[in-house]
Structure 1
């Protein structure tokens, strides 16, 4: 059982602030109360960790959350899950929406730290340049930094990821079992997640010796219009494909709509298992990258790092993706 400062405060019948003052050596606590709290900590096996001790009385019970675009359904859902989970532990969320990763986004990190957040959670890959990552690493020396679906492989930073590479590889195998030899792959960006998805797709194609034509891998903007347009162009150019696999659900929705407009009924698989997949017609098969699990794990890390000894906190937590089959997967080429 992880003992927190809340448990100590309750046992001693004092406020959390009083326990924090003891942890930080404040003179605003009587020697009798200090001795009683310290003995209770010893008896209950409480071991303050460096992060929690460093937060001390300056703790605002606020977690900074950074993502690129909260208008995107994936990021919006992630922020909602994090806020719900953190609120249960009496933390508020301060959101920072960076927009496009320009390679000069470190100001978003410094802005949050200047507001004395207790920890930072990043979603996806809002930072890619060496300068930005160095700034994030500097912050990680003083407060916990947790990355969701990204891994900067830096000291004092904790990553929570989904194995989307294996997920995409498995999706290719599933399509091959349906007799699909030519699989079109649409993706939008080569972020941490994007690179792993593309690697998984290529690995599956290579293993099964499927059609490896360069025309079957297309990078496009993450919009319905872009997905429809590329399908229109490929069909007009007589590019043959028997299934469509995409890095995002929104691309799969657009691709499926365009394919059906041309009379092409074929298996389509998206990624994220978002509400878009359930609302599409036909309903869309999608690779579930376990966003709820990722966010719950990130919240748990925050609690362990800020309120317990943090001794058994894993540096990396990984979940497996799962293919959710719906109507679009039953379509035959």
Structure 2
């Protein structure tokens, strides 16, 4: 079954059928309905790829994320796809992992599908070495690249990000002003977002004229049990801390589990602040104070910016969104 069969059964030209498929307004409503009815009767499904060639758009956006099981990224994917559907765009999702070669492989796969743009969800796609980002900058000459909570400077590259530095600075400042002096910072990575969070933690101490103990900055895997065991190990080694602030809610859950196992009262003896305000922050007893990084707003803004690019509007290359600190029972300031 093809366009020629539809043309023959509807008694119209192939060009008319093509105009109906492409949404051309220069077709009468009567003719349009006639062609659509014949398509339904014949069970004809248009070739999306061929149609995309004719329209110079596939109405499809590629989305890349490193790990769709991560609560933050899972939410981001949901909000991105929801916003795209509202503009009648489809999405192709690739979960790349963290290896650069795999990222480049999936990126090229999406380009081969002739997607209209590619969205990079999360900050793990911006590499520390500039030369490792050259494939993104080169590709942006041909299609828009949208970064969700990551930043890369380049023509036709657009970033929407949470102000992670200000968010962490505000949270750490609140703890310090409440009298906490030994705030342990638990983090997962040195991504673009991760670096900004750590600098916010450090600058909060500097701006209040307080000493910064580097032994209180600890890295661990993004795993609840690992975070718990890491804190237990530090406690057993004699490291003293009266608060834990983390780069992700999963680590904050580990901190709550550590306190329970060590017999430490929250928040009287230990304050805990997580990051992302995910479902995890409400799954513990007590519930966790967490920084809301506004993932829904980030994703909605990203898609609105993309539609502006498609429409030829003058849109900002970088949009920054402020966070909120959602206070629950693991803090008392």
TM superposition shift of 1:131: 4.7
Instruction: Tell me the TM-score normalised to structure 1 length.
Output: 0.81
Q: Which has the higher contact order (CA 8 A, sep 6+)?
A: 1
1:182 aligns with 2:185: no
Q: Does 1:326 align with 2:311?
A: no
- Provide Cα deviations, 1:43-79, integer angstroms capped at 9, x if missing partner: xxxxxxxxxxx98713111110011111111111100
Aligned to 1:117: 115
Matches within 5 A, 1:162-181: 162-181=162-181
Q: Give the count of matched residue pairs.
A: 285
Decide whether aligned partners of structure 1 residues 103 and 296 sit closer, same or farther in structure 2, where only a CA change above 3 A counts. same
Q: Tell me if 1:86 matches 2:89.
A: no
Tell me if 1:302 matches 2:306.
Answer: yes
1:296 to 1:89, Cα distance in 2 relative to 1, 3 A: same
Q: Give the Å deviation of 1:198.
A: 0.4
The answer for unaligned runs of 5 or more in structure 1 is 1-13, 23-28, 30-53
Aligned to 2:179, the other structure's residue is in SS state coil
Q: For structure 1, which segment, 275-284 or 133-142, has the greater mean C-alpha deviation from structure 2 after superposition?
A: 133-142
For residue 278 of structure 1, report the CA deviation from its aligned partner: 1.3
Distance 1:242 1:114 in 2: 53
Match of 2:261 in 1: 261
Ranges of 4+ aligned residues in structure 1 off by more than 3 Å = 101-104, 129-132
**Partner secondary structure for residue 22 of structure 2:** helix
Matched residue SS, 2:118: strand
SS across alignment from 2:233 = helix
Q: Gapped runs of 5+ residues in structure 2?
A: 1-18, 28-51
Measured at CA, do residues 87 and 318 of structure 1 come closer, stay the same or move farther in structure 2, by a change above 3 Å?
same
| SS in structure 2 of the partner of residue 329 of structure 1 | coil
1:15 offset after TM fit, Å? 5.3
Structure 1 residue 107: Cα displacement = 1.6
Q: Does 2:22 match 1:17?
A: yes
Distance 1:172 1:127, change over 3 A: closer
Q: 1:158 to 1:239 in 2, by over 3 A?
A: same
Provide the C-alpha distance between the structure 2 equivalents of 1:108 and 1:133, rounded to a whole number of angstroms.
14
TM-score using structure 2 length: 0.81
Map Cα deviations across residues 16-64 of structure 1 (whole Å, 9 max, x no partner). Answer: 83659x9xxxxxx9xxxxxxxxxxxxxxxxxxxxxxxx98713111110
Alignment partners' CA distance in 2, 1:211 and 1:167: 20
- Asked if structure 2 preserves the Cα contact closer than 8 Å seen for 1:182 and 1:211, the reply is no
Cα distance in 1 for partners of 2:158, 2:22 equals: 28
Aligned position for 2:62: 64
Higher Rg of the two aligned structures? 2
Deviation at 1:177, TM superposition (A): 2.2
